[in-house]
Structure 1
Amino acid sequence: MNILLETPRLILRPLELSDAEAMFAMDSHPEVHRYLWQKPSTDIAESIKVIEYVNRQYNQHSIGRYATILKETGEFIGWTGIKFVDDHVENGNTNFYDYGYRLNPKFWNKGYATEATNFWLAYGIDQMKVSDLNAYTHAQNGASNKVLGRCGMSFMEDYPDESGVLWKWWQMKNTNL
């Protein structure tokens, strides 16, 4: 996949194996996993497997999480984007479009998550013509919950996962369809 997308400060492109080192640096940081099952990466091979998985998603669904690059410096700041969830059930749902992001902590609180989220939600609705775009966040992740609400997603409900952890289910409906 050779799609390059841009926001005012970010370049969004498909993940590549060359992103593995920067992705591992992000995913091995404990704070990144505070609201993600508390399992930071311990080996770069985990990042390589994720990139290979995402590349299979590009081939199967023509969409997936994208490397998110800071235009000013060329740094990999994390990943953002839409994926089609068909490999598990979340809040009783499968076969749905999911928006998500993960950023390296040194890029938190700079508005990048909001900028990328606004872009991807518009892309999903206007370009992909998705009828419903969903997201889910840990109930205690105040920053991510605030970003999704600020960017126009509607909070639908709280739900527990299989281990009893509470999550929030978000949705944006395409009113143009």
Structure 2
Amino acid sequence: MKILTETTRLYLREINNTDTADLFEMDSDPAVHLYIENQPLISIEEIEPVIRSLQKQYQDNGIARWAVVEKATNECVGWAGLKLFREQMNNRQNFYELGYRFKQKHWGKGFATESSKAILDYGFEHLPTETIFAITHPHNANSQKVLGKLGFAYQETFEYEGEPTFWFELTKSHWKEHRNNLSY
């Protein structure tokens, strides 16, 4: 298992076929999909093209969502990472977007903040960017809380997939000033 980065409690690595059951557990849960644009998965076979797509993103862009594995249990508790958006979104193109998704039973444990901190360190150190963006549904208060802890600033509301969506950004200079004040 190639670990891309780690935190006190978590390993972050590329997603692979050994994660199928864990990702299906997460993505078949309607609560997990409450504030995202797609529907919960119905069969485990539906996760296979998702994994292939992520693996292609690793090859093409050197980055994608990573498996978040709890060290204490070796369980894949969800995913988090950066996605390179080559297509246009909110009048921007070729930008990195932070995203995270976790199994419901692991909500409230600080895994989103902890893994995202490591990902932002990685992104600002290894990727050619001065700004990382994030989006969230206006009603997803927990995601907005995570983004606030990380130092992201709300910029505007735009329409994405037919829904109003909050747009956040974090600059490299603000991250360098803010990162050491983080606690989970």
Task: Name the TM-score, length of structure 1 as normaliser.
Answer: 0.92
Give 2:116's aligned amino acid.
T
After TM superposition, list the pairs within 5 Å mapping 1:22-171 onto structure 2. 22-37=22-37, 39-86=39-86, 88-163=87-162, 165-171=163-169
Q: Structure 2 CA distance, aligned partners of 1:46 and 1:61? A: 23
CA contact (8 A) 2:65 2:81 kept: yes
Query: Secondary structure, in 3 states, of the residue corresponding to 1:4?
Result: strand
1:3 deviates by 4.5
Q: Structure 2 CA distance, aligned partners of 1:47 and 1:94? A: 27
Sort the Cα spacing of 1:44 and 1:89 in 2 relative to 1 into closer, same or farther, 3 A: farther
1:69 deviates by 0.3
Q: Structure 1 CA distance, aligned partners of 2:55 and 2:130? A: 24
Q: Structure 2 CA distance, aligned partners of 1:129 and 1:82? A: 13
CA contact (8 A) 1:155 1:168 kept: yes
Deviations 1:71-128 (A, max 9, x none): 0000110000111112x43222221111100000000001111111111122211333
In angstroms, what is the RMSD of aligned CA positions?
A: 1.6
Q: Structure 2 CA distance, aligned partners of 1:79 and 1:149? A: 19
CA contact (8 A) 2:5 2:118 kept: no
CA contact (8 A) 2:156 2:167 kept: yes
Q: Structure 1 CA distance, aligned partners of 2:150 and 2:117? A: 6
CA contact (8 A) 1:125 1:174 kept: yes
CA contact (8 A) 1:70 1:76 kept: yes
Provide structure 1 residue ranges, at least 5 long, that are not aligned to the other structure: none
1:2 deviates by 4.0
1:162 deviates by 4.3
Task: Name the TM-score, length of structure 2 as normaliser.
Answer: 0.89
Q: Structure 2 CA distance, aligned partners of 1:2 and 1:35? A: 31
1:38 deviates by 5.5
Q: Structure 2 CA distance, aligned partners of 1:90 and 1:75? A: 33
Q: Structure 2 CA distance, aligned partners of 1:144 and 1:116? A: 13
Match of 2:13 in 1: 13
Deviations 1:112-152 (A, max 9, x none): 11111111122211333521111111111000011001111
1:154 deviates by 1.2
Give 1:121's aligned amino acid.
L
Identity over aligned residues, as a percent?
A: 37
Provide structure 2 residue ranges, at least 5 long, that are not aligned to the other structure: 177-184
